[in-house]
Amino acid sequence: MRSTADDDRTTRARILDTAIAVFGRDGFGVGVRTIATAAAVSPGLLNHHFGSKDGLREECDRRVLAVVHDSKSAALSSSPGGVIEQLAKVDHYAPIVAYIVRSFAAGGRLATEMFEHMVDDTVDYLDEGVAGGRIKPSRDPRARARFLTRQSVGGLLLYLQMQPEGTDFASAFHDMAAEITLPALELYTEGLLTADDTLTTYLRHRENT
């Protein structure tokens, strides 16, 4: 027999998942009543769980960041077959990515905080990859994490901005993943430059300035 606490946790999770999907689809101007209706709960119950729309938004941010961290960490710690399995589930992450896009398009404090949290998480799962022997160490782990996060988010925003009006987000995300997976894996696995002279020259310059 389910307890009230179990029901509350299930209801809370359903509201969060629904809010992430609705915010990603319609933007952050959408009202509490719209989200409550989509989640099949009353506005009062939504406020009971999250206090306000702002409280719900902050909880959505935390949920999205946790999903991103877990998926990236799982991909980096799994076998090559596991990575392919993650890629096969790309459509599953479309609502999460839509939410992230909306967050950065909206800007403001929450977008800044989300970016910094994403950098922190990237540092963590890259460190896990280094410790596990899957990733090469960096001279400046945080700078590398910040660069990768900015490139990923910026590339995503640019790709979606260039899609025709009315394009289905999930389809666009699927097409983008198919387009970038090979060059990204090739670049991250094999590198780009054939010699290290540019890097060594830069390192010497940095030491002398």
Would you list the DSSP string of the chain? ---HHHHHHHHHHHHHHHHHHHHHHH-TT--HHHHHHHTTS-HHHHHHHHSSHHHHHHHHHHHHHHHHHHHHHHHHHS-HHHHHHHHHTGGGGHHHHHHHHHHHHH-HHHHHHHHHHHHHHHHHHHHHHHHTTSS---SSHHHHHHHHHHHHHHHHHHHHHTSPTT--HHHHHHHHHHHHHHHHHHHHHH-S-S-SHHHHHHHHHHHT-
Average pLDDT over residues 29-44: 93
- Can you give the pLDDT at residue 138? 96
- Is 122 a member of any domain? yes
Checking if the pLDDT of 1 tops 50, the result is no
Question: pLDDT-based confidence at 94, cuts 50/70/90?
Answer: confident
- Is 104 a member of any domain? yes
Give pLDDT tens digits for 171-185: 888 888 889 889 998
- Is 185 a member of any domain? yes
Question: pLDDT-based confidence at 108, cuts 50/70/90?
Answer: confident
Question: pLDDT-based confidence at 86, cuts 50/70/90?
Answer: low
- Can you give the pLDDT at residue 170? 76
Question: pLDDT-based confidence at 57, cuts 50/70/90?
Answer: very high
- Can you give the pLDDT at residue 87? 53
- Is 46 a member of any domain? no
Question: pLDDT-based confidence at 193, cuts 50/70/90?
Answer: very high
- Is 83 a member of any domain? yes
Question: pLDDT-based confidence at 2, cuts 50/70/90?
Answer: very low
Checking if the pLDDT of 88 tops 70, the result is no
- Is 202 a member of any domain? yes
The CA distance from 87 to 75, in Å, is 9
- Is 77 a member of any domain? yes
Checking if the pLDDT of 104 tops 50, the result is yes
Give pLDDT tens digits for 113-163: 889 988 998 898 899 889 989 899 999 999 999 999 999 888 888 888 888
Question: pLDDT-based confidence at 197, cuts 50/70/90?
Answer: very high
Number of domains within the chain: 1
Which domain does 142 fall in, by range? 53-207
The CA distance from 55 to 46, in Å, is 10
- Can you give the pLDDT at residue 85? 53
- Can you give the pLDDT at residue 93? 77
pTM: 0.74
Average pLDDT over residues 83-105: 73
Within 8 A by CB and 6+ apart from 134, the residues are: 76, 77
CATH of the domain at 85: 1.10.357.10
